[in-house]
Amino acid sequence: MANADCIIIQGSNMAECHPVGFQWVAEAKARGAKVIHIDPRFTRTSAVADKHLPIRAGSDVVLLGALINYVIANDLWFKEYVSAYTNAATLVHEDYRDAEDLGGLFSGFDPEKGAYDNSSWAYDEANDGSITEPGGPEHGAEAGARAAGDALGSGGPPLEHAEVLRDDTLQNPRTVFQIVKRHYARYTPDMVRDMCGISEADFAYLAKTITENSGRDRTTCFAYAVGWTQHSLGAQFIRAAAILQLLLGNVGRPGGGIMALRGHASIQGSTDIPTLFNLLPGYLPMPSAGRHDTLEEYLKANASKNQKGFWADADAYTISLLKAWWGDAATAENDWAYDYLPRLTGAHGTYETVMSMLRDEVEGYFLLGQNPAVGSAHGRMQRLGMSHLKWLVVRDLNMIESATWWKDGPEIESGELSTEDIETEVFFLPAATHVEKAGSFTQTQRLLQWRHQAVAPPGECQSELQFFYELGHRIREKLADSQDERDRPLLDLTWDYPTDEHGDPDPESVLAEINGRHLTGPDAGKPLSAYTELRADGSTSGGCWIYTGVYADGINQAANRKPGEEQGPAAPEWGWAWPANRRILYNRASADPDGKPWSERKKYVWWDEEQGKWVGDDVPDFPPTLAPGTKPDPSVGGPAALSGDDPFIMQSDGKGWLFAPKGLVDGPLPTHYEAQESPVANGLYPQQQSPSRLKYPRKDNLSAPSAGDPGADVYPFVFTTYRLTEHHTAGGMSRWLPYLSELQPEMFCEVSPELAAERGLEPYGWATIISARSAIEAKVLVTERMTPLRVGDHTVHQIGLPYHWGVGNSAVVSGDAANDLLGVTLDPNVQIQEGKVASCDIRPGRRPRGPELLALVAEYQERAGLTVETSNSTVTHPAAEGEHPGGQTP
């Protein structure tokens, strides 16, 4: 980021939530970069930006779409880059129909299942066919249930093969370029004014700044965080930025890219080596019953040997993982113990699990570093769900609300629960902090940094590693004599880490296992140095293919700490970045198709003719000796099929995708839909919300009416939730610390002076905020940092709510939890909740106590006429509903 000439921070409050990473923005700014912050609120990030543009929460696709339109309409796209490195020239099948033509739906929508059959979005194929997925087509409903989008964390979706049809003139109306151009033609500055509340002048400033800082000599970078992801179409917000950045040639180059700012020290690590229900390490999908019953089916569906690039070798990554976990018990005869892996039978994300708890389908629950009673959407549903458990284990630093809801939670006060009647047995196990244990953090930039233990944990506090190691030992001891087949996966696990005198396993031995080693041959036992050494024949092991190399030569590369000023611009000897210690992904794109740097100023990786290889500041992200002009036959498949101008080596066709024929379940192009709850009607399409969002129409999860529907004025305001620098998420690491608590002691809401006047809110007095689910109280910060937005013909007031506080008696500071106001509606690609925008009312004074609180919420629900159907229609366009928009049969 320090190399960027312009930084757009949107969907993120980077200075507050990532203050340490913000040093790179500060450095870029010191070098003369422009910084623009686009956010509903004026935050500490806006304070140090060159300009702040207030935006209506949830309208980002309109703004990004208008930028895409601006770039295409004014011919400002980076021609050589786009033509050579993206799929702009690729032809899409003739069955494809755009949302422009079908009132906001793409072809293939199945209103019964509320999901798409995406077969009509496919690339065209020579013999009149279309290029499908290697495992056969998967309906959006099934892909959504397993949140299949999560598996795209290290590379693009698979294709049967990469023999695409192209029109390099980009004139064919079925080229991706023409489709993108048509799709965004109505995303205009006027639309931005009417939907986002951003004036034409401000839009012009933004568009001009971005385009003037993109091209051969200059680069623009985007940074986002959960302000983009936590929407019912969050994945599409990011896709929209990806399209824009590809059109401007800002991917794979220094100072370019789209920075996903991850929320905690190792949240990137927790998706790489996942804590998610649907992933195995390295973004290999968790097998699904029916689709992945055998290893052969699984490997076939993950990647085709006929597609281009390194994902074609996913079989080697999978089998090496199975060898790492089950060692000698994984053999060719038993398909490398593939059947030891569990199979998904449906959606098992966190919100689905909570709803299962309410149906008494879940007996026990482990909470590790998570405080869902405060931190998850719909806190009441979370707490009531936990009250249905038989047992609950909370491992944390402090006695968080998720461990004490049974005695002092909001439902005890409201009378919905009484401590005597709760049968859940709650175990609290004290955890070691990050300075009391060694291990690695993987941060936003995919950089692994080793952390040494500073002090021993006090008392009975344990590291996670020690806890699970011991738990595994005890379970295996109990099962030692079992003859039951289903216990084999546990008994056959390689569970043999060396421990120190306190019984704590050596974390470097785990890192070595993750890195992988040769199992046979002259190098048997030696660590692997690159993922390209992984084999599908059982001769290698590797716990997470993208991390292979972190323990190369038996050295903990994550512990490298050579100061930046003592090395080159990419600082390769500080920590270790996956994959292959590469600092910028797809960096072959930093050179032109002939392999020369686009400009001296943005020189990074280039082709050295004399040496016959790629060289530069970073580890080249390309086959090292693949010359720029090479054009192999694409049908050979895998890395060997990559052309000299295919920089996107993890994409199945080697190109950056403007249009996504596969991989997204809610549309191949980002399209604006309103949030589940919105006071504004969709100005672009008759379709109000994303038709394929995951809805949960339940009595305990009611939604406010949308614009124009009766009762919408009962919840007339928009609220958005966020973090403050002073606290850590749900407060488990900050509200127990006096030094942090004193800095932000009380729950508050941020409102504009106009809204305060309209509702009679007193500065620093109390206010009650009511949503369709709950009501909370907060102190009032009246500030000009909140701007009422003129959207269409009415004013939209937005209310800011930090979500750090929770109700309980154990913390230094407590307060009502903003997340209690949220409902559960999810993005279908990754099952993330819509946490950044919803509807509410606000009024002065504290909230009622006890059963009267429930009465207040019910009174609002009644006044708005809420039912489980409210805002839960799949298709809102009456004409489209009966139409079954086609494309299925040409």
Partner 1 sequence: MGQLTGPTDPTIDAHWEHNHPRKGFFTDTSICIGCKACEVACKEWNHNPQDGNLELLGSSYDNTGSLGASTWRHVAFIEQGQDRIAEARESGRALVSLGMPRIGPPPQPGEVVAGADTTPPDTADFRWLMSSDVCKHCTHAGCLDVCPTGALFRTEFGTVVVQDDVCNGCGTCVAGCPFGVIERRSNGTVKVATSREEQHAGHPEVPNAGVAQKCTLCYDRLVADETPACAKACPTTSIKFGDHDDMVQTAKERVATLHAQGMTEARLYGANENDGVGGTGSVFLLLDEPEVYGLPPDPRVPTADLPKMYRRAAVAVAGMAAAAAVAFLGGRE
Q: Give the footprint of partner 1 on this chain (CB under 8 A).
A: 15-16, 19-20, 22-23, 26, 29-30, 34, 42, 44-48, 50-52, 205, 433, 458-459, 461, 724-726, 736, 738-746, 748, 763-764, 779, 781, 783-785, 812-813
Secondary structure class of 58 (helix, strand, coil): coil
* CB nearer to partner 1: pick between 238 and 737: 737
* CB nearer to partner 1: pick between 415 and 763: 763
Core vs surface per residue 2-22: b (16+ CB within 10 A) or e: bbbbbbbbbbbbbbbbbeebb
Secondary structure class of 243 (helix, strand, coil): helix
Contact assessment for residue 419 and residue 407, using Cβ atoms and an 8 Å cutoff: yes
Dihedral through CA 600, CA 602, CA 605, CA 610, nearest 10?
Answer: -10
Helix (H) or strand (E) holding 376: none
Contact assessment for residue 526 and residue 517, using Cβ atoms and an 8 Å cutoff: yes
| Nearest distance in Å: CB 499, partner 1 | 23
| Nearest distance in Å: CB 66, partner 1 | 19
Strands 109-110 and 115-116, by their bridges, are antiparallel
| Nearest distance in Å: CB 257, partner 1 | 21
* CB nearer to partner 1: pick between 128 and 784: 784
| Other beta carbons within 10 Å of 538 | 17
| Nearest distance in Å: CB 744, partner 1 | 6
| Other beta carbons within 10 Å of 178 | 18
| Nearest distance in Å: CB 382, partner 1 | 26
* CB nearer to partner 1: pick between 120 and 741: 741
| Nearest distance in Å: CB 1, partner 1 | 13
The number of residues making up the chain comes to 890
* CB nearer to partner 1: pick between 186 and 779: 779
Secondary structure class of 408 (helix, strand, coil): helix
* CB nearer to partner 1: pick between 46 and 250: 46
Alpha carbons 590 and 217: distance in angstroms, whole number: 11
| Nearest distance in Å: CB 19, partner 1 | 4
What are 80's two structure tokens? 């050589």
Contact assessment for residue 661 and residue 122, using Cβ atoms and an 8 Å cutoff: yes
What are 333's two structure tokens? 């005869």
Instruction: Judge residue 452's burial from the number of C-beta atoms within 10 Å of its C-beta, 0-12 exposed, 13-18 middle, 19 or more buried.
Output: exposed
What are 619's two structure tokens? 């580890």
Contact assessment for residue 549 and residue 557, using Cβ atoms and an 8 Å cutoff: yes
* CB nearer to partner 1: pick between 353 and 725: 725
| Nearest distance in Å: CB 50, partner 1 | 5
Handedness of CA 77, 79, 83, 85 (dihedral sign): negative
* CB nearer to partner 1: pick between 638 and 815: 815
| Nearest distance in Å: CB 15, partner 1 | 4
Contact assessment for residue 377 and residue 833, using Cβ atoms and an 8 Å cutoff: yes
| Nearest distance in Å: CB 468, partner 1 | 22
Alpha carbons 209 and 229: distance in angstroms, whole number: 25
CA 482 → CA 342, 485, 518, distances in Å? 19, 8, 32
Alpha carbons 509 and 494: distance in angstroms, whole number: 12
Task: Name the nearest CA neighbour of 446 among 255, 563, 602, 580.
Answer: 580
| Nearest distance in Å: CB 49, partner 1 | 9
Contact assessment for residue 252 and residue 84, using Cβ atoms and an 8 Å cutoff: no
Alpha carbons 381 and 494: distance in angstroms, whole number: 38
* CB nearer to partner 1: pick between 54 and 620: 54
* CB nearer to partner 1: pick between 459 and 522: 459
| Nearest distance in Å: CB 7, partner 1 | 14
| Nearest distance in Å: CB 273, partner 1 | 27
* CB nearer to partner 1: pick between 395 and 695: 395
* CB nearer to partner 1: pick between 442 and 744: 744
If you write DSSP's letter for every residue of 76-114 in order, what string do you get?
Answer: -S-HHHHHHHBSTTBBBPTT---TTTTTT--TTEETTTT
Alpha carbons 332 and 80: distance in angstroms, whole number: 47
Q: Where are the beta strands (DSSP E) in 241-343?
A: 258-260, 279-280, 284-285
| Nearest distance in Å: CB 419, partner 1 | 22
* CB nearer to partner 1: pick between 30 and 332: 30
* CB nearer to partner 1: pick between 190 and 742: 742
Task: Name the nearest CA neighbour of 383 among 695, 810, 806.
Answer: 806
Q: Tell me the sheet residues that pair with 833.
A: 826
* CB nearer to partner 1: pick between 42 and 659: 42
Secondary structure class of 236 (helix, strand, coil): helix
| Nearest distance in Å: CB 728, partner 1 | 12
